[in-house]
Amino acid sequence: MIDLEKIIAVIKERNAKTVGLQFPEGLKRQGPGIAREIEARLGVEVIVSGDPCYGACDVDASLLDLVDVLFHFGHSRLLEDDRIVYVEYYHDVDVEAAVRQALPLLGGKVGVVTTVQHVHMLPKIGQILAAAGKVPVVSPGDSRITYPGQVLGCNFSAAPRDVDSVLFVGSGNFHPMGVRLATGVPTVAADPFTGEARTVDVERIVRQRYGVIARAMDAKKWGVIVGMKPGQRRLEQARRIKEAAGDAVLITLREVSPERLIAFKVDAYVSTLCPRVAVDDAARFTVPVLTPVEFDIVKGLRPGDRLAFDEIRGD
């Protein structure tokens, strides 16, 4: 549920005349209704961002220039800018069935991580684990992470390493695979939407990534992609890679697609924007698209057996 009264209070307190709303894809359909209600109650102008939005990093900077305050829904705080108000969204789906399914797969000391949608369930998850004789461990992350135990697809700093297992509560594959590769600890994914739990297997993804690395080994001309979304911009990292690559060009992009990449005649790309881009879309790219970690392996700057998911770390 979105707490509209809180949003109204912020608009009044700031005396905002023009208000921006930005939603991730799953919440976009609520945009027009919320916009209409704010306009009707406060007489302010509301503008809804229509561009895709994939994460807390993905703030619509063009809309931000037009408004007094921008409400960014569905994600926790990431960018420090007083004009942006993050409105988190919690799923009320219960986690109990999935966590109980996970119990036989877990060791004694269990690191617990989840995404912001389920972070309010961490105390309950801890109770279920403790009642089953486990020792739950919830750790804080770095400055990109708002809550202890929270992970992003680009940041696993809150995943404990000194444990027997890590329990990820949430849906999808990317986060639990990232946790497994970042920690090196056996990881169990419990999906509250299906009530199922499984041990995370990274063999297929590791094979896929080494395949991409192998295809890039003979690359002579490189494109180094710099993300234009505010929370994905890693220009220093991109400059370092360009320097190490030799024949390379820096290319800015907001969104990466095979069509966009085909325009430049290079042998391989390194993507410094959202780490998910290179991995999730691998099958669609006709030239190898590597993460910075994988580029370092190609260039012998990192041992070949130390593959990890790329992370964007905070302080």
Chain contacts with ligand SF4 (rule: CB under 6 A): 54-58, 152-154, 231-232, 274, 276, 312
Shortest gap between Cβ of 231 and ligand SF4 (angstroms)? 6
Burial class (CB in 10 A: 0-12, 13-18, 19+), 30: middle
| Structure token pair of residue 290 | 């590597």
Shortest gap between Cβ of 135 and ligand SF4 (angstroms)? 29
Shortest gap between Cβ of 288 and ligand SF4 (angstroms)? 20
Determine how many CB atoms are found less than 10 A away from the CB of residue 102.
28
Rounded-to-10 torsion of CA 182, 187, 188, 191: 0
Nearer to ligand SF4, 49 or 232 (CB): 232
Nearer to ligand SF4, 174 or 299 (CB): 174
Shortest gap between Cβ of 229 and ligand SF4 (angstroms)? 7
Residue number with the smallest Cβ distance to ligand SF4: 55
How far, in Å, CA of 224 to CA of 240, rounded? 10
Nearer to ligand SF4, 153 or 160 (CB): 153
Nearer to ligand SF4, 58 or 294 (CB): 58
Shortest gap between Cβ of 227 and ligand SF4 (angstroms)? 8
Shortest gap between Cβ of 17 and ligand SF4 (angstroms)? 30
CA 245 to chain centre: 27
Burial class (CB in 10 A: 0-12, 13-18, 19+), 268: buried
Distances, alpha carbon 106 to alpha carbons 166, 177, 200, in Å: 8, 16, 12
How far, in Å, CA of 210 to CA of 222, rounded? 18
Nearer to ligand SF4, 247 or 255 (CB): 255
Sign, CA dihedral 235-75-254-217, equals positive
Nearer to ligand SF4, 54 or 210 (CB): 54
